[in-house]
Structure 1
């Protein structure tokens, strides 16, 4: 497969600062722990010598680097992202891993179509409306081989604990919702994934819901600290990316206070929210 694709316009509106990529790596380890070390839930034979996997919106390729340790060296592992400036250097990648630029809203290149046993994408659809989420899913399906699998993972931030002792977490949710709605984002695509898969005609649809225990709610300190870091970094991302917009509703002082309040609240009272993993098979050609 070739990996030469040009993006005419970089339309990504999310954060790209160093802290965001560190947040993504911490988030990866957090999710991997919750999944008991599993990276793939779809029934794909990872031992296949000719296995082909695509990781859409791969960021710096971290998920693929982890997967490369669990598949044959002859497997083809490809990652795509709209921000290639953050890709790891080819010298840092295993020989069977390659990265290429791709906008999830654009048609995929010919070499990526009907090419993969598994197409994976995680925590991406918040940047979409319901309609464009369906468009993205249809685009991804083009990359899946007949009989192959699509696996998506997204959050449900409407599932947080509310009420007394959770006021800062509620404020975070409200800031995220209002901020993201300003640029067409979707706060909680996770619960919608299954319906979108079924509407797209995927077969044998399965879903697993992960419960993210944050701070004091977690079973141990390390597991609790990771999601705190992820949430604080998400707040920083909103501040960096949108906080300087003219007329933005949340001031620097508001951000600073919420960050302090949120950290203290999560360390003391904890919280939790859900993420949804959905996988399904592309119909085999007759």
Structure 2
């Protein structure tokens, strides 16, 4: 038997999960040590929303709303009200425009073209007349025009009131014989215009020695003229024309020539109403004026 000290028993530490305790820290409170009083926990504020980021306010804590947020809400509400008001105004205007387009009915009656005398016309009973003050019933539709019915255009007389009809000259007599005559000029007293309508072939009218010159005769009333006879002296017109008038102011040319040969120039025209007949010469054959023995109108 050996004289050896027995091996001291080993302490077996039970298996504990978690981190091992620090051997430098005491395992429990040290008797007699001073402990700080417990601090009350801050009250939590429950607010709706998602949890905040780490280290920030969580799902139960949010900062109160400030003036900037309230201003943004007011601006958003104002914009929404403005848009709604604009949409309502557009809808109202569109409705009015459609009403104006569908409400106006254009008249199917054409505007009257003839403004002549309607005293003998019979009014059309199918067309409503204009409403008068104090009358019963609704006013006539705007745009409808009262158009009297007619069986045909109004007949008018062949001659206007106060104007005599042109007389015919079946015998072919000289209508200018002894009638008043005038001229643009005369060569002298012995060659006055009256000598061209006096029926005497020994006398004559002679003008000044220039162009143009004319002679006119007043027949006294309207006649249907069909023939004019010019009996020239040696001084005749190469270029001349004939014109007629009912009042001596408004003239209408009925014949013209540029190849006058003098002598007896017998001009035939269609039956034309005329009171005044005029011959105008524009080019002479000699250095003298225009000279006529006779100016006959038939």
TM-score (normalised: structure 2): 0.20
Rg comparison, structure with higher value: 2
Higher-RCO chain (CA-CA 8 Å, sequence separation at least 6): 1
> Which of the two has greater helix per residue?
1
TM-score (normalised: structure 1): 0.20
